[in-house]
Structure 1
Amino acid sequence: MTGLQRKPLQQAVMLDDAPTAVVLGGGTNGLSLVRSLAHAGLRPVVVVDAKYDIASISRYARRAVVSSLEGREFISGLLALRARMPHGGVLFFADDRPLLAVSQHRASVAPWFSFELPSHEVLVDLTLKERFFQLAQRGGFPVPATHLVSSRGDLGVLQELRLPLCVKPNSRSPAYDGTFQKAYRVETLAEAQSLCARVLDAVGEVIVQEWIEGTNDSIYFCLCYLGPGAPVCFTGRKGRSFPPQTGWTASCWAAPEVAKELEDLTIRFFRSVGLTNGFASMEYKRDQRDGSFRFVEPTVGRTDLQVELSAVCGINLCHVGYCDAAGQARPALRLDPTHVWRDEFRDFLAARMLGTDCTYPPQHRIHNAYWRWDDPAPAVLEVARTAGHALHRAVARVLKAKSISASGQGIPG
């Protein structure tokens, strides 16, 4: 079942009869996509999602409701929406679920929508961390020593790795995301084995690798769009992550001083595995022991939440992708590295955890992930949701305390 809210979909078509920009999935990734496309004048953007969220309530978006973001059910909903887009649509992916659904059913989707994706085999290989590390090691690319643990019987291989260790899922799943952090740093073998055992019980497999030593701001990323023309890349650096070192991007800015090295390395890796089209990015960490960059993980087929930084810095990857898919001339690109993108809530928390202030490079303009004077609704919703989650946790703690107190009343002294 599908539907469109706020305005009829016919009004969402570009005035020059160009295809509609369509974002699949929401959240911060979706919002960054919407604002990147709006920055290029491609507005309003249709956001296809199964729930009401921050991307779909942007002033630059129109919300298309589908009952599911996965499998054949999602494809049916997407094709139903296409019937109301007389000039076609260009797909952008903000979520792995619709990405994999479209990739699996691309023969059904391709006649009606334009999109750029690598082969399904390459997409799956690079979605699984263990397979990615195998490909990188085989090609001689810089990755830390890594093991896939699939059962408690495999825990002995952790002794082969140098402490400290990084523990993270082989692939994203609701079972993992609902219980665990994005990644963990563990200092001892016993701690690693205990954590791995808990993850195994929940999701069946876990990745363990040697920790790359470096400060919180030693994490870099290279965002790429690969299409029929020359590759277009943007290189940035994280200021802080939340939680520090292992979490999501809390603040970031351009890093032109390392762009050539990381862009050459990124393109060379993706081409080595047969990826020649679509969005692809690589996260790096500079190893403080020798100053070298090492792969952390790729993102393939969809954009990362940092993609809006590329747009405000003059290298609008989303606009380039749209133009290629719509058969239009690519925009002129000129790097302006004097901008900061930040998740204003999590950056503040990360700075507090690190015992620092929210500092940024001087004379840089700050762009908040949520709050904008010209687009305030996403921030209002994010604040409301954050407050709701905090209230829920507080109530749960109170009820738990009361339960413990009540159970103790009948115990003899």
Structure 2
Amino acid sequence: MSSAAPGPASAGAGSGPGAPPDLPLQPVMLGADIGVYALARAFHEAYGVRSIVVSGAALGPVARSRIIENVLLGPGASPQEMVDRLVTLAGEHPGRRLVLMANSDWLVRVVVRHREQLEPHYVVPFLSQDLLDRISDKAVFAEMCAEMDISVPRTIVQDFARAADAGWAPVPVDLPYPLIAKAASSADYQDVHFEGKKKVFEIGTPAELDALWTSLRGAGFRGRFVAQELVPGDDTQMRSITAYVDSAGTITLLCSAHVLLEEHTPSGLGNPAAMVTGRFDEMLEQARRFLTRTGYVGFANFDVKVDPRDGAFRFFEVNPRIGRNNYYVTAAGANPVRFLVEDRVHGRAVEPVVVDREVLYSILPHRLLLRYVREPALRAKVQGLIRSGAVAHPLRYPADGSVQRRAYVAAALLNQVRKFRTYYPEPTATGF
């Protein structure tokens, strides 16, 4: 199917799932990163509405924006305090159809766990608590995929639940080195602090792995970590999938992208910084299988890597949200919030869409990106998209183009140069 999004719907909203659909739409979002801004931009592009963003601080992506009203929580606000503020906020906007969005794993967990308190006031378009708990654990996700004949890297689980016991010892890991280590559940890892903490660790030797286990134990981590086979290949082997499953269980949106370059800072490692959208049917069919068999609803974002040894798609994880880089879907012509609003606000089914339009999504200066994209055919594709103007940066929005915003975007682009110079100064040889 083509990349055309469903036709415009009248902006509708009010509080609670049973409210009339013709009330004014009011998106409310938790968080303050570039993905939250991208969602606010998508709502503004589709419906001309300003979003309310609730966060601990109005960070650069959402600060001084004409399309956002920032609502700040007190420092160190607890999840319950956040929920209480959302309930109060709903009372401050009577006669509106409030749609609640969150775009980080721990915030999605807060919303889902407090669904009963929030649903009288908001549309809460997320999956069930049980399914969230299962898919958010990378170890369980790997087991689920294996049952559905979806390929994943070989995975060994390290459980720290009893790590405080004097006799506890980590289970042996018989994977070849280097290998990958990461938290099974990012929510369990969110508030753990130790020197050298990273989102994802590339472990070169058994001694390095032992040191990581020691650091996690000493920091009080009591969740599960996974050690995974390292699938070879550089950033260009990565793929991204964004999907929306409506309240009837129909997959109405599928969009995939070929990653060109990821972030390489310790805190951002693995986040795509540049992608080209495209249609990868074999990979999308596996995502469709997963979503259908699990009874998934709402937005989902899959991280996948093409194994250069056999061309197989290795599924790494599914995020229970639309994803930080969601604007690549909007840029490719299928504004994702339309699928949500049609479904949850208007109660209307839409014709399913599989996006096939090619667009370059990038938060990097073009010269910086091209320095890293060395493979001739891929480089030529990127240059062609740049020449034709088929490019998108989520923060570059003409309708939100004040002097302050333009200055922030320019500074953010320069900061990317600094970060790559510091953390990834030379392109890897593999795949370029």
Question: Where do residues 84-233 of structure 1 align in structure 2 (5 Å cutoff)?
Answer: 84-85=92-93, 86-151=95-160, 154-158=169-173, 160-172=174-186, 173-175=190-192, 179-202=196-219, 203-204=221-222, 205-228=224-247, 230-231=250-251, 232-233=253-254
Q: Which has the higher mean CA deviation after the structures are superposed, 304-313 or 185-194?
A: 185-194
Which has the higher relative contact order, 1 or 2, with Cα contacts under 8 A spaced 6 or more apart? 2
C-alpha distance after superposition, 1:26-56 (max 9, x if no partner)? 2112111111222213421111212112225
Q: Distance in 2 between matches of 1:297 and 1:177?
A: 24
RMSD: 3.5
Q: Distance in 1 between matches of 2:107 and 2:336?
A: 20
**Is residue 289 of structure 2 the alignment partner of residue 268 of structure 1?**
yes
The residue aligned with 1:285 is: 305
**Superposition deviation, residue 351 in structure 1:** 6.5
Q: Distance in 2 between matches of 1:348 and 1:389?
A: 12
**Is residue 19 of structure 2 the alignment partner of residue 17 of structure 1?**
no
**Superposition deviation, residue 107 in structure 1:** 1.2
Q: Distance in 1 between matches of 2:341 and 2:177?
A: 45
5+ long unaligned stretches in structure 1: 1-11, 392-413
Letter in 2 for 1:266: A
Asked if the contact 2:247–2:298 (Cα under 8 Å) also holds between the matched residues in 1, the reply is no
Letter in 1 for 2:180: C
Aligned residues: 374
Label 1:132 to 1:371 Cα distance change in 2 as closer, same or farther (>3 A). Answer: same
Letter in 1 for 2:270: G
Equivalent residue for 1:40, pick from 40, 46, 64? 46
The residue aligned with 1:304 is: 323
Partner secondary structure for residue 191 of structure 1: helix
Identity of aligned residues (%): 19
The residue aligned with 2:275 is: 252
Question: Where do residues 360-399 of structure 1 align in structure 2 (5 Å cutoff)?
Answer: 360=382, 362-364=384-386, 365-376=390-401, 377-378=404-405, 380-381=407-408
Q: Distance in 1 between matches of 2:312 and 2:225?
A: 26
Q: Which has the higher mean CA deviation after the structures are superposed, 49-58 or 260-269?
A: 49-58
Label 1:265 to 1:70 Cα distance change in 2 as closer, same or farther (>3 A). Answer: farther
Partner secondary structure for residue 180 of structure 2: strand
Structure showing greater Rg: 1
TM-score, with structure 1 as normaliser: 0.79
Q: Which has the higher mean CA deviation after the structures are superposed, 64-73 or 89-98?
A: 64-73
Label 1:242 to 1:387 Cα distance change in 2 as closer, same or farther (>3 A). Answer: closer
The residue aligned with 1:295 is: 315
Q: Distance in 1 between matches of 2:155 and 2:308?
A: 19
Q: Distance in 2 between matches of 1:304 and 1:297?
A: 12
TM-score, with structure 2 as normaliser: 0.76
C-alpha distance after superposition, 1:51-96 (max 9, x if no partner)? 1122253322111223366422111100111112222201111233
Asked if the contact 2:360–2:385 (Cα under 8 Å) also holds between the matched residues in 1, the reply is no
**Is residue 85 of structure 2 the alignment partner of residue 66 of structure 1?**
no
Letter in 2 for 1:117: F
Higher helix share: 1
Partner secondary structure for residue 322 of structure 1: helix
**Superposition deviation, residue 324 in structure 1:** 1.3
Label 1:361 to 1:295 Cα distance change in 2 as closer, same or farther (>3 A). Answer: farther
Q: Distance in 1 between matches of 2:146 and 2:354?
A: 35
C-alpha distance after superposition, 1:276-311 (max 9, x if no partner)? x111121100001100001111101x2212211111
Q: Distance in 1 between matches of 2:34 and 2:338?
A: 18
Asked if the contact 1:44–1:62 (Cα under 8 Å) also holds between the matched residues in 2, the reply is yes
Q: Distance in 1 between matches of 2:118 and 2:299?
A: 18
Label 1:312 to 1:353 Cα distance change in 2 as closer, same or farther (>3 A). Answer: closer
C-alpha distance after superposition, 1:313-372 (max 9, x if no partner)? 112222211221111646776846232111226x87677678899952523522124344
**Superposition deviation, residue 113 in structure 1:** 0.7
Q: Distance in 2 between matches of 1:196 and 1:268?
A: 35
